Amino acid sequence: MIKLTLPASAEDIRALKVGDTVAVTGVMYTARDAAHKYMVESFCKGAPPPAAEQELYDILKADLKGGALYHCGPVVRQVDGRWKFVSAGPTTSAREEVYEDYVIAHFDLKLIIGKGGMGPRTLKACQEHAAVYLHAIGGAGSLIAESVAEVVAVYKKDEFGAPEAFWKIRVKDFPAVVTMDSHGHSLHAAVEQQSKAKLAELLA
């Protein structure tokens, strides 16, 4: 298993290939549909950030450079006034395909984590900006939550709701598998092509 510490460099990412298992340590953010839409519409389209959003933009810009976004709507609870992740399983990544290439390019993001893979726009962005997609273990939310050592902060919880908020978390040895690398390889695309070929063979 490859140990990967955030923030990651382009060299770290270019060394990864489809099929590699990794253990990620460092600070990452959760982000789902609302968070991605917000980032693209507020920050990634070229206009200066709205004044009211400047503080969060500065935080995200600093933390996501060389960092990671996790497609996850966590189950959380408070213990002694501090947030704790109870379950942190991945959510389906395909919904973010219309946003992710913008986010990777604008924030110099290096890791996208989720389940189910992503499409050609994200794969192209991974090639151009030295990023990878990591597949987390579906159905193992409680197990993955054990790798969350600390909830550092939460942003937009009141506006978006807890599952859609930006949760800034510190993880230790977060387990995942590289299924889209920075060299243009996608395990998801390969499986789809093989499945279509097998189906055509069966129907012939």
Q: What are phi and psi of 75, to 5 degrees?
A: -95, 125
Q: What is the pLDDT of residues 165-179, one digit of tens each?
A: 999 999 999 999 999
The mean of the pLDDT values for the chain is 91
User: What's the sign of the alpha-carbon dihedral 194, 195, 196, 201?
Assistant: positive
Does pLDDT of 79 surpass 90? Answer: no
Q: Is the pTM of this model over 0.95?
A: no
Structure confidence at residue 196 (pLDDT): 56
Q: What is the pLDDT of residues 96-125, one digit of tens each?
A: 999 999 999 999 999 999 999 999 999 999
Q: What is the pLDDT of residues 30-60, one digit of tens each?
A: 999 999 999 999 999 877 888 889 999 999 9
Q: How many whole angstroms separate alpha carbon 183 and alpha carbon 146?
A: 31
Q: Which domains does the chain have, with CATH numbers?
A: 2-203 (3.20.130.10)
* Residues shown for the chain: 204
Structure confidence at residue 198 (pLDDT): 52
User: Could you give the C-alpha distances from 136 to 65, 71, 85, 91, 196, in angstroms and in order?
Assistant: 21, 10, 16, 9, 25
Q: Is residue 36 among the annotated active site residues?
A: yes
Q: How many whole angstroms separate alpha carbon 35 and alpha carbon 43?
A: 11
5-9, 45-49, 61-65: the lowest-pLDDT one: 45-49
Give the number of other Cβ atoms within 10 Å of residue 108's Cβ.
17
User: Of 36, 71, 106, 188, which residue is the catalytic one?
Assistant: 36
